[in-house]
Amino acid sequence: MNGGDFSAAWLAMVKRLTLLGALLFALGAEAAMRPNFILLFSDDQRADTLGAWGNRHIRTPNLDRLVSQGTSFRGNYCFGSNSGAVCIPSRAMLMSGRTWLNLKSDLSGTTLLPEWLGRLGYATFATGKWHNERPSFTRGFQRGKSVFFGGMADHTKVPVVDWDGAQFSGVRTAPKFSSETFADAAVEFLEGYRGEQPFFCYVAFTAPHDPRNPPEAYREMYYRKRPPLPPNFLPRHPFDQGWVKGLRDENLAAYPRTREVLGDQLCEYYGLITHMDEQIGRILRVLDRTPHATNTYVIFAADSGLAIGSHGLLGKQNVYEHSMRSALVIAGPGVPKGRQIRAFTYLLDLFPTVADVLGESGPEGLVGHSLRPLWTGTQNRVRESVFLPFTDTMRAVRDERWKLIVYPKINRRQLFDLRRDPHETRDLAGEERHQGHIERLTRLMREWQAKTGDRVALESDQPRSGEWSADGYIRKPDEWQPGWIVEKYFGDGAR
């Protein structure tokens, strides 16, 4: 190679390196400009337990502040469940953007939201409850602090581990109450984050899931000024839909439910929420003090609701509104402040929403819809109706006014006019004048089944009886209930 050829080759190499450097710089700048995300996730929190959403009997000042700073999605739902442990599929759907009908609970074979964000250059961090096995967690998160692998625990004795991206620490018992422990980890992450990458911070509280043992001061504040029981409180559910007896959630109070016992449990439940709200406030205040405050989306959601006395039930193993509706609030750049949207949404819409915010299409297999068009005003709805499939025992569908629930195992139906009866207290299925609504909604339900791959028959050739009795049934506490709850609610051997 002569001198001229060498010089030309050298100049060409320098040009390529310059272009490569500019490209890398541009990619780095783009990553730095991308927004951060903080996802705050509560466990078993009814959608009607936010002060800013109209509950005058509960104290949630920090969540109320978030509501004022962002947009509330008042028609948000958990897409049913494939088991009584609703939080497992709910979290799987949140992280995958898919329904439980085409999803494994351990999230194997599925791209997770934090995993996908990591590929885009995000730093991913998690604390709190992860109920979908360790392998999926390690795919999704580069770091984790005070992570709880399980479904529930005594809030004062939560077993947690840390994750450094290569291995887990040994299990230790968290020294503080669950909500404080997880908030501490989130605060530590936000205060210490110095990376140039945008971040995704996932904070999964175990409150207000039972055991309902908030710090004593928080239950006492509600004992002193008691909230009213839900308007649809009943002493017992009128029929056995498959989940009224023998279920751990339903064992937490005797049959028939009494106003005194459920009143106490509601105080304890509210106490858990108020204490969690204070911890959320700590996280939000720290965020406000960081340089990330103006470029961060804060999302608050819950994995499901809870009966806690409604319809004579305690758990979430049903498709009534109180159990399947879940809170959802989004605040951040470009999101209208103080707005409330009542369009039908699902938790599984969050993945495609994040992708849309980033100008990306997301991975293959997402079945949810981006909610961004709802807050920008380019759409006023993303779906016309809601479908709620629960194991093989229940199916529900609703439109803006009417809701049909089908119980295939016992060939029973319920029909509710939610405009006039939002608490589902008057079943209209037996009234001849409403048979047209039942037929129309049954067709709609079958359309949803065909679209989602749900193959459960809506009627049984050999239905079982829906009659039931608690006579002779002995309740037993689970291993996670603290002593004072066992003594208070199980000490008399109540049936």
**What gap in Å lies between CA 60 and CA 447, rounded to an integer?**
40
Q: Is the pLDDT of residue 4 over 80?
A: no
Q: What is the pLDDT of residue 492?
A: 61
The answer to whether the beta carbons of residues 397 and 441 sit under 8 Å apart is yes
Q: What percent of the chain has pLDDT over 90?
A: 91
Distances (CA, A) of 336 to 290, 366, 373: 22, 26, 12
Please tell me the pTM assigned to this model. 0.92
**What gap in Å lies between CA 378 and CA 117, rounded to an integer?**
26
What is the average per-residue pLDDT within 171-194? Answer: 97
Q: What is the pLDDT of residue 11?
A: 53
3-state secondary structure of 165: coil
Fold of 394-452: Arylsulfatase, C-terminal domain (3.30.1120)
* Residue ranges, CATH 3.40.720.10, the chain: 34-383
Q: Is the pLDDT of residue 396 over 70?
A: yes
The answer to whether the beta carbons of residues 240 and 410 sit under 8 Å apart is yes
The answer to whether the beta carbons of residues 413 and 406 sit under 8 Å apart is yes
The CB density around residue 12, as the number of other CB atoms within 10 Å, is: 10
Q: How confident is the model at residue 22 (pLDDT cuts 50, 70, 90)?
A: very low
Burial label, 390 (beta-carbon count in 10 A; 0-12, 13-18, 19+): buried
Could you tell me which residues come within 8 angstroms of residue 41 by beta carbon, excluding any fewer than 6 positions away?
A: 91, 94, 128, 202, 203, 204, 205, 300, 301, 302, 303
What's the CATH number of domain 34-383, 3.40.50.2000, 3.40.720.10, 3.40.50.10140, 3.40.50.10480? Answer: 3.40.720.10
The CB density around residue 398, as the number of other CB atoms within 10 Å, is: 24
Q: Is the pLDDT of residue 19 over 70?
A: no
- Tell me the pairing of strands 328-331 and 339-346: unpaired
For residue 111, give both structure tokens.
């791209």
Q: Is the pLDDT of residue 26 over 80?
A: no
* Residue ranges, CATH 3.30.1120.10, the chain: 394-452
**What gap in Å lies between CA 255 and CA 82, rounded to an integer?**
26
**What gap in Å lies between CA 77 and CA 90, rounded to an integer?**
10
Mean pLDDT of the chain: 93
Burial label, 414 (beta-carbon count in 10 A; 0-12, 13-18, 19+): buried
Q: How confident is the model at residue 6 (pLDDT cuts 50, 70, 90)?
A: very low
**Per-residue model confidence as pLDDT tens digits over 409-433:** 999 999 999 999 999 999 999 999 9
**What gap in Å lies between CA 399 and CA 419, rounded to an integer?**
10
Q: What is the pLDDT of residue 491?
A: 82
The answer to whether the beta carbons of residues 332 and 38 sit under 8 Å apart is no
Could you tell me which residues come within 8 angstroms of residue 274 by beta carbon, excluding any fewer than 6 positions away?
A: 58, 59, 60, 214, 218, 221, 222
**What gap in Å lies between CA 267 and CA 221, rounded to an integer?**
8
3-state secondary structure of 126: strand
**Per-residue model confidence as pLDDT tens digits over 58-75:** 999 999 999 999 999 999
- Tell me the pairing of strands 394-398 and 143-148: unpaired
